Amino acid sequence: MTVAWLAHPNTHSPADEVPAFLRTMHEMLSALLGRATQAADVEAPTEYVAAVTARKSLASRDHIIPMIDGKPQQSPKAA
């Protein structure tokens, strides 16, 4: 909706006013949702470690080892 308003020819805004407009829209939406507008609310992404390396995952012709759980799975056979 914000992009449509900015792109509409009747509501032309100079480029230097767009960041302030977007900041205001973000603050209004956050207030409506009852959230604080602090950057501390964002959680850091969890660091994931593969169960096996890519080389070990594809080392065998008989099975593959998924990097997620490290348990061997049957490889599909070509017809």
Range of the domain at 51: 47-74
pTM (whole model) above 0.95: no
- Does residue 33 lie within any of the structural domains? no
SS3 state of residue 74: strand
In tens, the pLDDT along 16-61 reads 888 888 888 888 888 888 765 455 556 777 888 888 888 888 888 8
- Does residue 56 lie within any of the structural domains? yes
- Does residue 8 lie within any of the structural domains? no
pLDDT of 37 reads 47
Cβ neighbourhood burial of 51 (10 Å; 0-12, 13-18, 19+): middle
- Does residue 2 lie within any of the structural domains? no
Domain count along the chain? 1
